[in-house]
Amino acid sequence: MVIKVTKDTFIEFNEETQQTKVIDKAAIQADLANAKTRLNEVAKPPTNAEILAWAKSNYPYMDTSKEVESLNKVVADNEAILERIKNR
């Protein structure tokens, strides 16, 4: 049950707990506005796309394409040699 005392002041009675609480409407509205403002200011977590973009630009990565190319050539050349001498 809520009882209005003044324009912005109320008393709330909880019948279950038998406790009363004074409610200041202006103070609650101010707290609510502050909380909503702060919620808009709190940093949102980055999206997966943002994390990936950051990682691509900040994570140290060595370009190994030349090494892979060279190793693939060694494998191909050696397999060809082994194939030529297979039944000799």
Whole-model pTM: value is 0.47
pLDDT band at 61 (very low <50, low <70, confident <90, very high): confident
Residue 49: what pLDDT? 96
Q: Which residues contact 8 (CB under 8 A, 6 or more apart)?
A: 24, 25, 26
pLDDT of residue 56: 85
Residue 66, pLDDT > 80, answer yes
Distance CA 51, CA 45 (A): 10
Domain borders along the chain are: 2-44+61-84
Q: Say if residue 70's pLDDT is above 90.
A: yes
